Amino acid sequence: MHLDPKTINDDTLTETGLAATSVADVSGRVLLLACGALAREILALTRLNGWSHLDLACLPAKLHNEPQKIPDAVRAKVRDARARGYTKVYVVYADCGTGGLLDKVCAEEGVERIEGPHCYSFFDGNEAFAERSEAGEITSFYLTDFLARQFDTLIWAGLGLNRHLDMPQMVFGNYEKIIYLAQTDDPILEAKARAAANRLGLAFEIRTTGYGDLAGFLATAAKE
- pLDDT tens per residue, range 151-191: 999 999 999 999 888 899 988 999 999 999 999 999 999 99
Is the pTM higher than 0.85? The answer reads yes
The answer to whether the CB of 97 falls within 8 A of the CB of 122 is no
Asked which of 94-98, 165-169, 204-208 is least confident by mean pLDDT, the reply is 165-169
Give the residue among 191, 190, 184, 175 at the shortest CA–CA distance from 209.
184
How large a percentage of the chain has pLDDT more than 70? 96
pLDDT in tens, 48-72: 999 999 999 999 999 999 999 999 9
Buried-state track 143-169, b at ≥16 Cβ within 10 A, e below 16: bbbbbbbbbebbbbebeebeeeeeebe
What is the strand order of the sheet 140-143 is part of?
Answer: 140-143, 177-182, 203-208
Residue intervals of the chain classified under CATH 3.40.50 are 5-117+212-222
Which pLDDT does position 1 carry in this prediction?
Answer: 52
Overall fold of domain 5-117+212-222 = Rossmann fold (3.40.50)
Banded pLDDT at 138 (limits 50, 70, 90): confident
Write the DSSP assignment of the chain as a string of letters.
----GGG--HHHHHHT-BPPP--S--TT-EEEEEEGGGHHHHHHHHHHHT-TTEEEEEE-GGGGGSGGGHHHHHHHHHHHHHHHT-SEEEEE---TTSTTHHHHHHHHHT-EE--SSSHHHHHH-HHHHHHHHHTTGGGEEEE-HHHHHTIIIIIIITTTTTT-TTHHHHHHTT--EEEEEESS--HHHHHHHHHHHHHHT-EEEEEE-TTTHHHHHHHHHHT-
The whole-chain average pLDDT of the chain stands at 93
